[in-house]
Structure 1
Amino acid sequence: MTISAPQVALPRPVRSALSSRTVIATLLGATLVLKAFGFAFDFLGYYVGAEHGTTAAGVVLTLFGIGWCIGQGVCGAMTDRVGQRTTLTLWLVASATACIALAVVRTLPAVMVLAFCLGCTMEVQRPAVSAEINERVTSEASRTRAQSWMYWVTNVGVSVSGGVGGYLAHSHGYRILFVLNGLACMAAAVIARRVLSPRPAQASCAAALLTYRQVLADPALRWIAVAAVGAMISAYGLVSVLPLVMSADGLPPTAYGTAMIANTVAVLILSPPLTRLLVGRDERLRCPLAPILAAGSLILGTAMGVAVLQHTSLGYAAAAVLMVPGEICYSVALGSFLATAAPAGAIGRYQAVLSGASALASLTPLGIALALDSGGRLLVAAVLVSTAALAACACVPLARALPARPGPNASAAAVPANA
């Protein structure tokens, strides 16, 4: 069955003078800058752990994750209703403000409040950039490639942030990292203001009036979100779990930077051949989406399970490299889903649901910290591997739900709902 909203024409969006290719390349570049300078999230755990202890770091990262969940929901709805330009500009300015404030405050309660605010604002580019890609790229195959590139630049940016930030923190402290993060957010806000259309992107009021309840009636979206939670618990272990265990080993931030640089180099080397292995010359997946996502989830879980059992910089760096094939599989699978599954005018909320799944995964640091204190590293490794296995299991009903999806020319005003 389908749920439809009343059709009311809206003014046509005003296109910028730039070509679609230029706009998308610019937005992907801005995303790379945002993630490469995303020191606030990457080093929040290290900073709080050094100042207030491991448990406090877990609490702060959990608050960040709660804010992330809320922020993604709001940003996804804003993207679909008021457009990418307004959403990105407002929320990136708010993110810059929170980053600068984090460099000033010193008390734990203030840091906790700012961690929540940062979570609300730090990932706003995902719904907006996804919506812009699906609006501007007409070919389903080309959208798959472009959506996958967004995840790729995110992975590279996160790794660069960890590598460069580790050495900057060792030499100049953590607060300079937060200032640089705030400046990057302001720069991205200016770029968004200059290159994006000043009008909403949706073509009909029906799409704008869709609710999250209607969007979540799509069974494929529900199952891929479940799989994403399990996979991302391991994937975000690079920036949440790894700082906790490396701090417990007494390793300096430069050791964390080395591991993240190793991850970056592996991403740059392995992405072209692995992506070509997964995506054919016609830009379509060579095999079904669900098995690719299941394989990526298992690789991520296994690699992160190995990582938490290490005690040396070399061991952590090797584990970070092992994660890369899983990151690539995950990026390609979710990129393909967003390119082919999300109805026009609802892409912001589809991306927000998937980003919200990542946000749920980021709620685990407090549990990881408690598990580390009570059961040791073996317990943490078992938890990570188990969640990855559950993600792979969710790919089974996902595979059954995908064939029933409407084709790429389906109406933007209808979202499938199952009983």
Structure 2
Amino acid sequence: MSTPVLEKPGFLRSAFGGLPRPFWALWGGTLVNRLGTMVTPFTGVYLTQERGMPVAAAGVVMAVFGAGSLVSQLIAGVLADRIGRRATLAGGMLATAAAMLWLGASSSLAMITAAMFVLGLVIDAYRPASNALVADLVSPEERPRAYGLLFWAINLGYAFGMTAGGRLASMGFSWLFWIDAATCVAFAALVWRAVPETRPAERETAGGFGVVLRDRLMVAFTLVMLGNTLMYAQTVTMLPVAMTETVGLPAGEFGLAMALNGVIIVLAQPLVSGWLGRRDPARMMALGLVVMAVGFGLTAFVTSVVGLAVTIVVWTAGEIMTAGIAGTVVARLAPAHLRGRYAGLSGFAWSVASMLAPLFGGVLLGVGPEALWFTVGGLGLAAAAGMLALGPAIRRR
């Protein structure tokens, strides 16, 4: 479909120009939503401090959230192809707003657990629809840049949301639920008003994921993505534990070092996204995975906050290289009428990694830092090798 584009003068055009207006509506909605992402980063604190749960009980409740997230991407992928990208995205955001308010109003263990499961089910339901929309709206040549800019918006908004959420939590957790719900509604309204339905007229929607699972190239790429996500998920699972408990860094120093990740992404991503988009996706992703693997492997030798900062700079550089590639490859592999399902399978790798990463990471950290970080680095190198092996088939597709 043909849509008008936003033109930018001078050097800004290489970073922001030439993309259709509906994409920028999707980008703006993503930014607004992430500006208000305040509940999930503080869920553990809310359950233990506000609701008085023991740590073990809070862990069980958060595992229930993970169980909802595990099936979320698969269901949302089917819905994006069957009922449409716009309806799935807007509906998922409205359902997320309702689940947020339900959780905030719940006081019994049973109600909190049920609300957490529903929240896990709907909070990321927008992702397959969003990825399919970008593939529908943006030309193949511009997709790496478009996906990279969405990644930038997520990081820009999340950095603000984390900072504001921490301050608001001290005033009362109810603020977090209402603001998060409001930004979800705003995202839904903006997409419904400014983004057209892009699902192709051809609709071969019978069945579930069988057709995707029969695509051996897509399944192999999903396994590569699983290696990537198992590596990256350590940043929010075992890395904080390893640095504060094993290395002995104060929590404040660890938080300050981790802020480098967001700062580098916000400053660098728009500047390099155009250049990265002109590179071969498979080779660029493999290179990014190698750089990330080196960064995580070096974490085994960290003894100070300066050393941690160096490793963060390294793996953040790799993260920027890979940021727009996964969506680009999935869009290249997927038939237009199945883009939601393909994106859902790709998202499923993230859900699986979020559950597996703390399990194997905790066991390996118990053996020693070298066991954890060399294994994590090895996963990254294996994923890079897999990506290079898939490169010729992806280029032919």
For the aligned pair, the TM-score class normalised by the smaller chain equals: 0.7 to 0.9
Partner of 1:30: 29
1:295 aligned to 2:290?
yes
Structure 2: give runs of 5+ residues left out of the alignment.
Answer: 7-18
How many aligned residue pairs are there?
381
Secondary structure at 1:193 match in 2: helix
Partner of 1:224: 221
Cα distance in structure 2, aligned partners of 1:45 and 1:256? 19
Cα distance in structure 1, aligned partners of 2:218 and 2:46? 36
Conservation of the 8 A alpha-carbon contact between 1:76 and 1:349: yes
Greater share of residues in helix: 2
Relative to the length of structure 1, the TM-score reads 0.76
Instruction: Pick closer, same or farther for the CA change 1:296–1:337 going to 2, 3 Å.
Output: farther
Q: CA deviation at 1:387?
A: 3.9
1:349 pairs, out of 328, 341, 353, with 341
Partner of 1:94: 95
Cα distance in structure 2, aligned partners of 1:271 and 1:219? 32
Cα distance in structure 1, aligned partners of 2:175 and 2:356? 27
- Greater shift in the superposed pair: 391-400 or 121-130: 391-400
Conservation of the 8 A alpha-carbon contact between 1:230 and 1:388: no
Structure 1: give runs of 5+ residues left out of the alignment.
Answer: 1-12, 409-419
Where in structure 2 are the equivalents of 1:203-352 lying within 5 Å?
203-206=201-204, 208-209=205-206, 211-241=208-238, 258=256, 261-272=259-270, 274-275=272-273, 278-279=276-277, 283-285=278-280, 288-299=283-294, 301-302=296-297, 320-352=312-344
Cα distance in structure 1, aligned partners of 2:190 and 2:218? 31
Partner of 1:6: none
Q: Which digits, 9 at most, give the CA deviation of each residue in 1:300-326, with x for residues without a partner?
A: 63477678x77x7x8877765554213
2:385 pairs, out of 391, 396, 399, with 396
Q: CA deviation at 1:383?
A: 3.5
Q: CA deviation at 1:121?
A: 1.2
Relative to the length of structure 2, the TM-score reads 0.80
Structure with higher RCO (Cα < 8 A, 6+ apart): 1
1:191 aligned to 2:183?
no
Cα distance in structure 2, aligned partners of 1:293 and 1:362? 21
Q: Which digits, 9 at most, give the CA deviation of each residue in 1:272-318, with x for residues without a partner?
A: 45546644xxx3438724523532541563477678x77x7x88777
Q: CA deviation at 1:96?
A: 0.6
Q: CA deviation at 1:124?
A: 2.3
Percent sequence identity is 25
Conservation of the 8 A alpha-carbon contact between 2:226 and 2:349: yes
Q: CA deviation at 1:173?
A: 4.1
Q: Which digits, 9 at most, give the CA deviation of each residue in 1:33-67, with x for residues without a partner?
A: 22232222222234345544554444333332221
Instruction: Pick closer, same or farther for the CA change 1:223–1:287 going to 2, 3 Å.
Output: closer
Q: CA deviation at 1:93?
A: 1.1
Q: CA deviation at 1:257?
A: 6.2
Letter in 2 for 1:270: A
Q: CA deviation at 1:258?
A: 4.4
RMSD: 3.6
Partner of 1:166: 166
Conservation of the 8 A alpha-carbon contact between 1:98 and 1:117: yes
Q: Which digits, 9 at most, give the CA deviation of each residue in 1:122-162, with x for residues without a partner?
A: 1122211221122122x311122212222332233333333
